[in-house]
Structures are given as C-alpha cells and as structure tokens.
Amino acid sequence: MRTMSELKDQIDDYLRYAQLERGLSENTILAYRQDLMAFLQFLEKEQLISWPTEAIEIDAFLAEQKDQHKATSSISRMISSLRKFYQWLARQNIQKLNPMIEVDPPKKEHRLPVALSVEEIEKLLMQPDVKKKLGIRDKALLEMLYATGMRVSELISLTEENVHQDLKLIKVFGKGSKERLVPISDLALSWLEKYEKEVREPMLLKNGDYSEYVFLNNRGGSLTRQAVWQIIKHYCQTAGIEKDVTPHTLRHTFATHLLENGADLRVVQEILGHSDISTTQIYTNLTQKHIYEVYQKTHPRV
C-alpha cells in the first residue's frame, strides 16, 4: 500500500526529471512543486493514499482552490502542472489511468492589465534621488524598464556584453532562452552610462570583485526579482501612486504607450518577445479605452 511519503517521493522524482531532462527553469520547477504539493495536501486531508483516477476527485481539488479565492490563472497553471505530472506517471508505469483527460481548464478572465498614465510614469521616474549612488542606479533601472518593456527576469539577468550602446540595442534572453534585440532610448542609455561610470565600476573596483551583470545591489551582487519589486513599490509610494504597481506594470505601460502613439502591433509583439500576437492584443483594449476617453473629452457634440 502506498503512503504519503511515497507520493511525495514521486513528486520529487518528477521534478528532478523536469529539471535535468527537460531543462525547465528554476522558477517553473518552483511553480510545479507548489502546485503538486498543494494537491498532495488535499489528498492527505481527504485521506487518499494514491493518485486519483477519477476526474471528479481532481474537480473537487480545483473547486477547493477556487473557494480559497485562487486566481483563474493560478488554477489554469495547476491543471497544466497536474496534466504533465500524470503524463509522467503513465510513462513511468506508476499509474496508467489519467483523469486529467476529462478535466477542462477554467474560462479565462479577461482582465485588463494595469498601466500607468504618462503623468504617473513621469512622476515615478522623477522619484530616485540622483545625488545618491543608489538613486542613480534606481533611476537607470526604472528608465531601462520603461524604455524597453523588459521582463524583470530579463533585467536582472542582463549582462554587460549584451548592451550595445553604439547600436542603441540590447540583446535580451526571454522565456525559453529565446533571444531578441530590443531598442533603447537615448535617455535610458544616458542614465545607464552614468550608473556604470559613477556607481557600478567604482563599486566593483573598491570591492576587488567582478560581475557580468549590469544591475547590482549595494554589496556588488546581482539584484533579485524581489529587490526590483521593492524598489518600484518604494518609489510608487513616494510618488503617491495608488495603483497596484509591479515590475510587470512597467512592461504593460511601455506597450500601452507605444500603441497609443501609433506603434504597429507586430512591432510591439517583437519588442516584448511574445510568441503569439494574441498575447499582445490585450493592449489594444487599453488603447481603445484611451481613444474613447479622448473622444468623450474632445468632441464638441458629446
């Protein structure tokens, strides 16, 4: 008879396979572990000591997640995690019956991403105290995010060799290590140069250290996603911006402002590194809203 310990061991075996043989990223493995452990806790609570073979049991787990107010995107990810795990169980001859075949993903919530107005982004970019070294770094970081639409993971992994200042381009490695070239504005480049000359290089020289990464913490190590999140939250508070702003909000803002000013959707897709244009099309909803608001404010007969 199986025990909960054996089920956990199977999860660990699957995650090792996913990391070593499929080459999945650390963040993806972490998400899989979180989803599968939540499923295991549900089985333990329900006193089940084997992987369910009926879709009704999977549906009960997903219903519980919904009752806990988990986002539709989180539940969709859980379904994907379970689907891949059950496929692995079948290949390993651990369990042939796959209830995930009968489980449908929840309908997507069509929520528009939060974006800052031009006035809000300008106010945010003015917040860092550029008389201080970390203020110069933070100014360069914020300008870079808004000028390029990079993901935070792409920003913190950006290396010196991938910044081509003469060409005004940066080489970015996105999801699945897909490479793309992204243009960068003169203003963002000027702040990046100031940061490198006045902050980054002296810091590394003083520490007698070397780092290939562009953006460093105050000890000369690479920045983390959490650190970038905290930097943005801090400056949003000082700017009096009440929206729920994350690093991804600056990516949304970048795309929205480009489209509002007439950029081609395909160009924005390329810059953002979206493999499917439908992912980019969500921003057209934001720009249509903007167009309607401008119409309401400016048409003399409205």
The residues annotated with a catalytic role in the active site are: 151, 175, 248, 251, 274, 283
Mean pLDDT of 254-283: 86
Query: What are 183's strand-pairing partners?
Result: 169
pLDDT one-digit tens code per residue, 195-221? 999 999 999 988 888 899 999 998 888
Q: 11: which residues sit within 8 A by CB, 6+ positions away? A: 33, 36, 37, 40, 85
Residue corresponding to tokens 């000890």: 219
Q: What is the pLDDT of residue 21?
A: 83
The letter for the amino acid at 14 is Y
Mean pLDDT of 232-254: 93
Q: What is the pLDDT of residue 296?
A: 75
**Using 50, 70 and 90 to split pLDDT, how confident is the model at 287?**
low
By the 10 Å C-beta count (0-12 exposed, 13-18 middle, 19+ buried), 11 is classed as: middle
**Which CATH superfamily, name and number, covers 4-102?**
Tyrosine recombinase, N-terminal domain (1.10.150.130)
Helices (H), 46-117: 55-67, 72-91
Rounded to the nearest integer, the mean pLDDT of the chain is 89
Q: What is the pLDDT of residue 302?
A: 60
Q: What is the pLDDT of residue 283?
A: 77
Structural domain spans, the chain:
4-102, 118-298
Helices (H), the chain: 4-20, 26-45, 55-67, 72-91, 118-125, 133-148, 152-156, 186-195, 201-207, 225-239, 247-260, 265-272, 277-280, 282-298
Query: By C-alpha distance, which of 56, 78, 57 is closest to 68?
Result: 78
- Residue 149 three-state SS: coil
| Fold (CATH) for 118-298 | hpI Integrase; Chain A (1.10.443)
Mean pLDDT of 253-266: 89
What is the pTM (predicted TM-score) of this model? 0.62
The letter for the amino acid at 12 is D
Residue corresponding to tokens 């970015």: 172
Mean pLDDT of 174-185: 87
Q: What is the pLDDT of residue 294?
A: 64
Which token pair is 291? 């167009």
- Between the two ends of the chain, the Cα-to-Cα distance in Å is 73
Q: What is the pLDDT of residue 289?
A: 63
Q: 12: which residues sit within 8 A by CB, 6+ positions away? A: none
- Is 43's pLDDT higher than 70? yes
pLDDT one-digit tens code per residue, 103-160? 887 766 556 678 899 999 999 999 999 999 999 999 999 999 999 999 999 999 999 9
Which token pair is 63? 């219903």
Query: By C-alpha distance, which of 68, 15, 69 is closest to 37?
Result: 15
Quote the percentage of the chain above a pLDDT of 90: 60
Q: What is the pLDDT of residue 108?
A: 63
